[in-house]
Chains A and B, each alone.
Chain A
Amino acid sequence: MQLTKKKSPVNIKAALTLATTALLGTLPAAGHAQESSKVAELSSWDFDTAFLYYSESDRVSAAEAIINAKKTFENDQVLNLKLTIDSLTGASANGATAQPNVQTFTRPSGKGSYQTDKNTTPLDDTFKDTRVQLNAQWTQPLAENYTGSAGIHISKEYDYLSLGINGNLAYDFNNKNSTFSLGLSYFQDTFEPEGGIPVAFASMPSAFGSDENGNKALFDATRLTDSDDKTTADIMLGFTQVINRRMLMQFNYSYSKVDGYLSDPFKVLSLLDSNGYAQDYLYESRPDSRVKQSLFAQTKYHFEQNVIDVSYRYMWDDWEIDSHTIDSKLRVPLSSTSYLEPHLRFYQQTAADFYRPFLMQSNPMPMFASADYRIGEMSAYTVGLKYGMKLSDGNDLSFRLEYYRQNPKNAGYQAPDALESADIYESVDAIIAQVSYSF
């Protein structure tokens, strides 16, 4: 992104620089600092900011703000600090199937219940969370043609803590036209969900309300622990190649191993009788490990004016999920200071081998099962448009508006009679709106 060296007329940049340097403890002591060196230091931080609003029709909406501060030191050392704050509210599918009658579910906390109308996808409307994330990344040349980078990640929300570290080594060769890179990252996450971690396949208990002695004990009997952990170890091998003056390509191979608690404590499955009527709701159960691998290829091509960016990702894992993603953007300059960028993205995935839209009483219980549509068969697409401009003071402003649609599909499960008029694989529509400002 173009980062101007010009000073903003409104002195937000100077104020933010002061705040950043004060936080880092690098602010020169007053009286010792020369005014000119102070100005030079103040002007060498670059800020990228973005505000995004994401809204699904009748479901979740989220607002997310990011501020990224970047400083380039002598010898091409780069420090990048990023603060992300997001807030989530709304309703999320709880995994149960629609029914020809009204359904009642216990809230995750056990302290109340909610109802779903007949022939309507059950949504748990208690989702509300705020998350704060901090990232710091240091990048520097290590030797001729070698660049190293290391970073830390902290993310905290009401019921979730994620700590991560990463390291990356890049080697340039062939006159810096080719680059090999090796990256490693490790995350340690702790999940402390409202109401605790449910026992796999336990029946959803009744809400205990004010009955602290009776139903509370029954509720607690369905809980395993208060919290659980998850670790994620990633390895990424990358190769970037300049093809010619107008074109470059990148290829990545990623291997990711996730261990620990991988279920969603808020998701259940409907246990249906032979006619399709729900007899019970059972908490889902996923394996405690997952190995994901992916191949990614991207190319950028500069036409006379326009720039096209096309990428493809093939992902597969040991849950038998395969996915294909094609992402493309075309940047069309409108003038020397503005551009339009249409965006198209197509996504398709197969279902995890333990995905079940519902369980049947007549069938033996599987070892693992989840009705989470996000690991079911699905296709999705995104259509978007971005408009960006350079302001008279040299700063960048852009707007992005996108439409995202998910179409869950039947992976070959025959629905019983009672579900005939229910939409088990309901589509999800979302609008994404974003404003970005760099200064």
Chain B
Amino acid sequence: MSRSYFKPYRVSRRCYSVILLTVSLASGCSSLGVQPWERDLLAKDEMALTSSPLDAALDDHIYFSKEASSGGKSFGGGGCGCN
């Protein structure tokens, strides 16, 4: 049997996992979190999800041009002829 025979099954199972994950996160997360006055550590610059945006941009450019994957954290689209 060819590999492509399994492709629709693989994709749909992944999509199902994504939906399941999203629903469980959204419903389970209402009990998580902090009060506004408990954000002292989260408000620090080093706790930002992208704490060094220029480092991230430079790394994205390097790995986009040297590997077959891109994006994930942010858009991995075109932008240069390096790949």
Contact = CB atoms under 8 A, between A and B. Distances in A.
Interface of A: 1-2, 48-50, 52, 54, 64, 66, 68, 82, 84, 86, 88, 129, 131, 133, 153, 155, 157, 159-160, 162, 164, 166, 174-178, 180, 183, 185-189, 191, 230, 232-234, 236-237, 239-246, 248, 250-254, 256, 258, 292-296, 298, 300, 302, 307, 309, 311, 313, 315-321, 323, 325, 331, 339, 347, 349, 352-353, 374-375, 378, 380, 386, 400, 404, 406, 428, 432, 434, 436
Contacts of A374: 66-68, 83
Contacts of A292: 69-71, 76
Interface string B1-26: 00100010000001000100110011
A439 B71 CA distance: 28
Nearest to A185: B75
Given A234-B77, A347-B67, A241 B32 contact: yes
Given A242-B33, A244-B32, A434-B55, 5 more contacts: A2-B45, A164-B77, A174-B29, A175-B35, A293-B14
Contact of B81 (A175, A191, A254, A321): A191
Interface residues on B, range: 35 or more
A242 B43 CA distance: 11
Given A50-B58, A254-B72, A232 B78 contact: yes
B19 to A, nearest CB: 10
Contacts of B83: 374
Interface in B23-55: 25-26, 29-30, 32-36, 38-42, 44-47, 49, 51-55
Contact of B47 (A248, A295, A380): A248
B71 A294 contact: yes
A339 B51 CA distance: 14
B32 A162 contact: no
A75 B52 CA distance: 24
Nearest to B19: A253
Contacts of A293: 14
Contacts of A380: 66-67
B32 to A, nearest CB: 5
29 contacts: A1-B45, A64-B58, A68-B54, A133-B80, A162-B78, A174-B33, A178-B30, A230-B78, A239-B22, A244-B33, A244-B34, A245-B39, A248-B49, A250-B49, A251-B21, A256-B77, A292-B71, A296-B72, A296-B73, A313-B72, A315-B71, A315-B72, A347-B69, A349-B67, A349-B69, A352-B68, A378-B67, A404-B62, A436-B54
Contacts of A237: 22
Given A252-B72, A323-B69, A66 B33 contact: no
Contacts of A2: 45
Question: Mostly helix, strand, loop or mixed at chain A's interface?
Answer: strand
A43 B73 CA distance: 32
Nearest to A432: B62
Given A160-B80, A162-B78, A323-B69, A241 B55 contact: no
A430 to B, nearest CB: 8
A236 B33 contact: no
B76 to A, nearest CB: 6
A375 B54 CA distance: 26
A177 B76 contact: no
A307 B76 contact: no
A222 B57 CA distance: 37
Contact of B79 (A164, A254, A311, A400): A164
A309 B36 CA distance: 23
Contacts of A82: 57
Nearest to B77: A232
B69 A315 contact: yes
A93 B25 CA distance: 45
Given A157-B80, A302-B41, A400-B55, A252 B75 contact: no
